[in-house]
Amino acid sequence: MRGGVRSRLSHRLPAGASPGTLCSNPNAQQPVMKAVVYSDSVLQEHAPKTAAEAVALRAKGQTLWLDIAGLADLTLLREIGERFGLHRLVLEDITNSQQRAKAEDFSSCAFVVLRMANPGDQLDTEQLSFCLGNDFLITFQERSGDCFSFVRQRLADAKGKLRTSGPDYLAYALLDAIVDAYFPVLEQMGEHLNVAEDSVLASQKNVEVIGQLHEVRRDLLVLRRAMWPLREVTQQLTRGDLPRFQPETRVYLRDVQDHVVQLIDLLENYRELGASLMDVHLALVSYRINEVMKVLTIIATIFIPLTFLVGVYGMNFKGMPELEWAYGYPLCWGVIVGVALCMLIWFRRRGWL
């Protein structure tokens, strides 16, 4: 766990570095650019190789969506920033993939950064950055693969407002897709909690139950770090702190904010359930240990007087009268069995058995 934290923070800028200095993650992928140019009557898809080819796609009356997956090529990112007028601090935040979700307004663009959940069996999130201009939207992903397939299909089908609206509506559609992608992730967390709950109540192996609960609580913590700042971002967008989002679009952003609130409520419920299951599990473990200790204590208590008796009659003194008595041996066993039975009956009446 600690090793993973070191690997994530190893590409941070050194202390005192100049503002706007770019620092790429050593594990970053080489960028792959995909561009979509569209209007109400036109839809063109391109795969530009250079920043010059990408900026040449801008056309009057059309919207450019430039998607860049991979942040390893800092030279390309600088050229993109220069040709689209992105602030150097924006580029710095894009390459530093551990940013907290936020929304900022610059003279050339509105900048939004958040974390996106990737589909798969294992929980995986990556940083996604939006640069929204007057006629373009640039998205920066850490790697290929996203949850935008339905948005791309809506662009191709030319249905709804997506093709007839500006880039701010496209940014809303992508943001809505990111938020909605968290719902199946949380549903999966809920299923894991149900399995863990069944394991706790079924009194399965302690190590297995603790491992399940620890994994779920760790994933929920990752989601919490991604969702709570996202709530602040959607609040900024709905308040109009970024003027590039038109009032017509902010109406739809309020729906995204509602979804974020629902996600956070569900997340907190799951976190409380996970903590409660851990407490119940520990209580059950303690109860089982106490039951075992009680049985062992009762057994030891029964044998204390019996040990005393056999210890007394185990002494080798010739003057002991019972040693030569014909009924001494059966009487000794009778006393031992009688003492044991009396103690068991007494424990039973006390409710200890």
pLDDT at 317: 67
Dmax (CA) of the chain: 122
Domain limit, last residue, from 253, 283, 313? 283
Please tell me whether residues 278 and 264 are part of one structural domain. yes
For the segment 261-292, what is each residue's pLDDT rounded down to a tens digit?
999 999 999 888 888 887 877 777 787 788 88
- Mean pLDDT over each residue of the chain, to the nearest integer: 84
Please check whether residues 217 and 270 belong to one and the same domain: yes
- Confirm whether 8 is domain-assigned: no
Distance CA 254, CA 212 (A): 36
Which of 283, 306, 341 is the C-terminal boundary of a domain?
283
Average pLDDT score over residue span 230-234: 91
> Which has more confidence, 255 or 24?
255
**How many residues does the structure list for the chain?**
353
Q: Are 135 and 151 in contact (CB under 8 A)?
A: no
Does 9 reside within a domain?
A: no
Kindly tell me if the per-residue pLDDT of 313 is higher than 80. no
Q: Is the overall model pTM greater than 0.95, yes or no?
A: no
pLDDT band at 170 (very low <50, low <70, confident <90, very high): very high
Same domain, 224 and 339: no
Burial class (CB in 10 A: 0-12, 13-18, 19+), 194: exposed
What pLDDT, on the 0 to 100 scale, is given for residue 214?
Answer: 79
Q: Is the pLDDT of residue 2 over 50?
A: no
Q: Residue 254: is its pLDDT beyond 90?
A: yes
Banded model confidence at residue 167, pLDDT cuts 50, 70, 90: very high
Per-residue pLDDT tens digits for 174-187: 999 999 999 988 88
pLDDT of residue 79: 94
Asked if the model's pLDDT at residue 9 lies above 70, the reply is no
Domain assignment present for 316 = yes
Does the pLDDT of residue 200 top 80, yes or no? no
Domain residues for 302?
Answer: 287-349
pLDDT of residue 5: 39
How many domains does the chain fold into? 2
Instruction: Judge whether 2 lies within some domain.
Output: no
pLDDT tens-digit map of 76-111: 999 999 999 999 999 999 988 888 899 999 988 999
Domain boundary among 260, 283, 306: 283
What are 112's strand-pairing partners? Answer: 103, 130
**Which residue carries 């044991």 as its tokens?**
340
